[in-house]
Chains A and B, each alone.
Chain A
């Protein structure tokens, strides 16, 4: 009983330590501060409730996995609705961002397919290894590499001025 309790404390502490990074990932993933924090909240609640399901790999990777899945579910349920929330809506609150360059990268990220965006952000922003990204996304490393490659080419194309019509959130 005592051991289990101290286990809970350690687990909660590990979860707590990951909160700032989770917020960062969620913000970049959704590009909307409120949606991002909602996702983080759902992730934390789910993680703490299902501690017994945690299999001892890294807590941080597990949290990224939960958040990634919750966001995928969120996008699916958005897609089922008749009126879509568009990329433009997501951009609006950040229109006063510090510099134009940062808005460009934000718009470029918005043009990516969700899987590619996840892979790129987990590597570039969160510093996960390719192996960890493969675990989070539940795919082989080779697929991580191709998602990463496609994401980078897409962003480059966008920033070089191809600027395709903005994709609707899918």
Chain B
């Protein structure tokens, strides 16, 4: 296209229209183009292409970013938010949490030592509890009235069968549930409400340990019972009244055990 001995290279012509030509060459290229109309026409065409591309697509960057691409939502998908909860927990934990020395209630022959990942998981669950129970308008993603749909959805997302405990017998109504990031993939989070508005949550996620005894974690405002059964961890969190929480946890434990949430 351009003669070998030309004082201006084709690369320079590209750099000229792309604004990447060193300042000291700009004038030389411009005056060379003035004397070479054929090349000048080609360069003008390239420039017009660039303009057309910017006209066609430039405005995409001014569109509002769709919800699924907003950074908080992407972070949630990556599990980075769960690390954030951990950080919050770490800050709050040393002060607010007294890890209950209380031994498990029914030590089902499982090992006594809780695996480290399990503490993490419990902290995540309690943080999720604190974060969502205060929500008035959006405490859950799927309301309790859509139990069948929620069961199907979360079973699909978690990859093992979910049976959402029915706690009506002990006076708790299912508010609903949501999907959360867990340490090993997705976690399910269910919320229940008592007659005077007190809320309890169940966090359910794949665990590293096959099984543990039931443990109790006493906090100032929020306490939790937690255990792992058949590689699924359960954390039941609620107001710090141990007796009430114990009743609920026991009901949950019996239902997931009998219903065979993980043994189906």
Contact = CB atoms under 8 A, between A and B. Distances in A.
Interface string B79-94: 0100000010000000
B87 A5 contact: yes
A110 interface: no
Contact of B71 (A19, A23, A155): A19
B52 A156 contact: no
A45 to B, nearest CB: 6
B42 A121 contact: no
B262 to A, nearest CB: 28
A102 B14 contact: no
B52 A102 contact: yes
B247 to A, nearest CB: 38
Contacts of B148: none
Give the interface SS of chain B, mostly helix, strand, loop or mixed. helix
Interface string B50-66: 10111111101111011
Size category of the binding interface on chain A: 35 or more
Given A23-B65, A45-B74, A102-B55, A155 B49 contact: yes
Interface residues of B, number: 33
Contacts, number: 96
B63 A145 contact: no
The winner among B57, B60, B75, B87 for most chain A CB atoms within 10 A is: B57
23 contacts: A12-B71, A12-B75, A19-B69, A20-B60, A20-B63, A24-B58, A27-B60, A28-B60, A37-B69, A41-B74, A44-B74, A48-B78, A102-B55, A104-B52, A105-B52, A109-B53, A123-B18, A124-B18, A124-B54, A145-B11, A149-B10, A152-B14, A156-B42
Given A97-B56, A152-B14, 10 more contacts: A19-B69, A19-B71, A24-B61, A105-B53, A105-B56, A125-B53, A125-B58, A129-B20, A145-B14, A156-B46
Interface of B: 10-11, 14-15, 18, 20, 42, 45-46, 49-50, 52-58, 60-63, 65-66, 68-69, 71, 74-75, 77-78, 80, 87
Interface of A: 5, 8, 12, 15-16, 19-21, 23-24, 27-28, 37, 40-41, 44-45, 48-49, 97, 101-102, 104-106, 108-109, 120-121, 123-125, 129-130, 145, 148-149, 152, 155-156, 159
